[in-house]
Amino acid sequence: MPEASPRGTYLIIAETLRSEIQAEQGGDTLPSEADLMDSHGVSRNTIRRALKVLEADGVVESAPGIGWRVVRGGDRRSLAERMTDVIKEDSLSVGDTYPSEAKLCERFGASRTAVRRVLAQMEGNGLLATVHGKGRTVRALPASLARP
């Protein structure tokens, strides 16, 4: 495991697992939490946090009696990538209203907490602006849509 801040180690592990899943280096089930702890040299809590990130993004799901299994067939992009792509998919322009939290939760099958986390990230990146009482609007287009 490379040197990392203890606060961000679970995110690094989540991205490592996501890469392994996308490269289809594993089967339908992930190794046990104990095996993941050993291979990454971290605590169970850190592994569980990493798995919760992947679960919120729809990459894995908990299967009672089995452990964690890979969700096959769906969109494997992160929730952040999919929510950013809403601007393109819905043909939104600067100043247009961005969908509500409830609609995003339904659209992506994600928890409100996960959606709020990504919305805060998008606001921090300058893509969205919040007008209290009015909702969120598109503040800037993603780099992939910006015209030269």
Residue 8's pLDDT is what? 84
134 φ, ψ (degrees, to nearest 5): -120, -20
Instruction: List, run by run, the mean pLDDT of 10-residue segments along the chain (148 residues).
Output: 66 90 74 93 94 84 80 70 90 92 85 86 92 88 65
CA distances from 53 to 4, 50, 68, 70, 87 (A): 18, 5, 13, 13, 23
Evaluate whether 54 touches 18 at the Cβ level (below 8 Å).
yes
58 φ, ψ (degrees, to nearest 5): 80, 20
Residue 40's pLDDT is what? 94
37-64: pLDDT as tens digits:
999 999 999 999 999 988 887 788 887 7
Secondary structure of residue 115 in the 3-state scheme? helix
Residue 75's pLDDT is what? 62
Evaluate whether 114 touches 79 at the Cβ level (below 8 Å).
yes
